[in-house]
Amino acid sequence: MPVSLVTGEPFGPRVKQISEQRELESSDDEPSSESDVDARFCKDDSGGSEVPTEFWHMQKLIKYMKAGNQTATTVALCLLKDFDLSNRVIHKIIFEMGGLEILVNLLETREIKCQQGSLAVMLELSAARDTRHHLVDLGVVTPLIELLKHPARDIQRLTVETLANITMTKKARKQLRLRGGIPLILDIMDVPESIVWRSPEELDDNEKEMLTVAIGCAKVLNSICTSPKIKEELRKHGAIFLIARYLKSSTTDLVIPTMGAVQLCSDIKVYRLAYEKMDIIGEIVRHLDNEDFKLKENCALAIFKCAVNKISRDMVREAGGLDPLCRLVVDPKVYENKKLLAAVTGAVWKCAKSPENVYRFNQNRLVQSLVNLLDENEDEDVLANVVGALAECCKDDANRDALKNAGGIPKLIKLLNATYEPLLVNIPLVIGELAQNQWCMDEINDEEHRNDGVRLVWSLLKHQSDAVKTNACLALVHCVKHAKNSAEMVRAFVGGLELVVSLLESKDTQVQAAVCATIAEIAMDMENLGIITDHGVVEKLAGLVHTEDENLRANLTLAIAYCSEWGQNNYEFGRLKAVAPLVNYLTSTNKEVLKGVCIAFYHLSKEPSNCVTMHTCGVVKHVLRLVGSEDAEVQIAAATTIRHIRKLALTAEKFHYKEMYYCFCHFLKRRINNFISINYLLYFS
């Protein structure tokens, strides 16, 4: 612990003493950021070899600060504050001359003027990433936590504002949490509601000071909420109630950092549920119309994260938040701010997951506005969000026509050549939705205009990302189903069918499920089915039957069903013991699984040996239940399966009785012959 240069004594009570080993063992479970990099000042930061004129002045000031005289130290700090402390050259001089150590040491004094001067200088210096890192290494967090207990409002304000800068580094956030700084911040942050809700012009001097301290604390929350453990500690100490109070403020400077903390905490389910119950969603929507772009960005990010829940999406719509989002999408000023544009398009994407919201978006002609953003030179995050929003909107057939008429299909096909993974995850989704419209499908695969969309989607099956491969397979299901001459198109892709079959060896169940859906569609054509059979599709499908994943089961059963129609495939599934495990699928409550397995049994029951296996495993009682299904296809498949099993049983019974009849006749014949022979011998004897 540094000792005061003025009094030689430490200031105030000590904070929690945490050993260095314990600090190293503790983890915030947060990713490293740019601010966490171990950066040092470079020798050539000044841009030249000449010694700047400020060097000699600052050398004298730092000597006066070291002298230990209170008046000299205070005057030196005031003069130091007059320099341009945003200049990297000044930062380098202060660092090399040991000025940072002195500033940290001065925080330990009991002289309020020295503390105030040191904090004022440190606040300016800590705005630089490199200087923040050095200050944390010098142990600045501990004295700053001590100063949170100081009764003077000026000291509190400078302390929290400095902490807001310092805690941008991961190490400082960890120290603040371990040394008990969180409760202290929340304590001085808890100002009366009457101060928060009134405008600054209506407050007296004391209330203005309290509001200024609250703003600084909100900035600290905005800095530290990147740590999952800090978020949990804030929740335990009731920070959500303070956040809800601050969002109702009319002071923009207070709302901006508070909204930053809101959006950072929105990725945790507990916080999202709290936002719904405390109507914080409505406050988020209200601030979307604020003129400050940073506040708009935080609001949009909060909606983006909260809208994963349908209740939150409905609350955004009911609070009137969809129209402001649509206005921001078409605002030319927003186009210049890519972070804001990415946040807005992300919020639109997540809100579009509800059909009710899409209906409102359609009234604002959102699809046409989003198509205008499909530019190859646009920001990648913006493109990923725009494409995701289009994928949700195009679940409505009217929007598919709107996208086509707006010229969006050629733009989407060009984006299939991109390399940004989140973008490639979303593009197949919108292609798959568009493929369900015949006119759109024709344009996707229009060779005349070089729109080779299906081939590009097929090429995504080679991507290293499982999410990209999954969505590409799902898109191909619709492309193969609705494309003209799809059978010839599929065979035209050299090595395409072999690639699809090989994906069944993936370790990801979602990839396997999507590939099975694609294979089920490809197997509709007998020639393509013969090709994938030669590539070993039967053995690979049979190896997946023991899965517990419901989605994979639903698609796997359909793939097995349609692959059974070629040659000896039906018999091979039975030989590979793939029939008996399917009986367990009939206990599922998933309608898609029941439909798929019922269709699979219909096709497999065409092979007599499979009927024997099914009957032995007790499939009849389950299939009888499915005869009463509301789905006509399931009814027919179940009834036909029973027919095949019953027909085999009757044939076996008839054969059994016929065999018994022949044996009985042969027995009678022998008895009669023996009787005649005996009588004949007796007669002639």
Residues recorded for the chain? 685
Distance CA 193, CA 195 (A): 5
Residues near 557 by beta carbon (within 8 Å), at least 6 away in sequence = 582, 585, 593, 596, 597, 599, 600
Question: What's the pTM?
Answer: 0.84
**Among candidates 358, 388, 243, 354, which has minimal Cα distance to 302?**
243
Q: Taking every pair of C-alpha atoms in the chain, what is the biggest distance, in angstroms?
A: 158
Q: What is the DSSP secondary structure assignment for residue 51, as one 8-state letter?
A: P
Query: What is the token pair recorded at 649?
Result: 């049983």
Query: What is the token pair recorded at 434?
Result: 């568009």
Q: For the chain, which residues score pLDDT lower than 70?
A: 1-55, 67-68, 447-451, 649-685
Tell me, what's the pLDDT at 630? Answer: 85
Tell me, what's the pLDDT at 145? Answer: 94
Tell me, what's the pLDDT at 648? Answer: 75
Rg (CA), the chain: 37
Q: What is the DSSP secondary structure assignment for residue 503, as one 8-state letter?
A: G
Distance CA 549, CA 472 (A): 20
Tell me, what's the pLDDT at 677? Answer: 54
3-state secondary structure 256-288: HHHHHHHHHHCCCHHHHHHHHHCCHHHHHHHHH
Helix (H) / strand (E) containing 658: helix 632-684
Per-residue pLDDT tens for 397-431?
999 999 999 999 999 999 999 999 999 999 999 99
Query: What is the token pair recorded at 543?
Result: 């190896």
Tell me, what's the pLDDT at 524? Answer: 92
Q: Class of the 556-674 domain?
A: mainly alpha
Distance CA 118, CA 150 (A): 15
Distance CA 300, CA 288 (A): 7
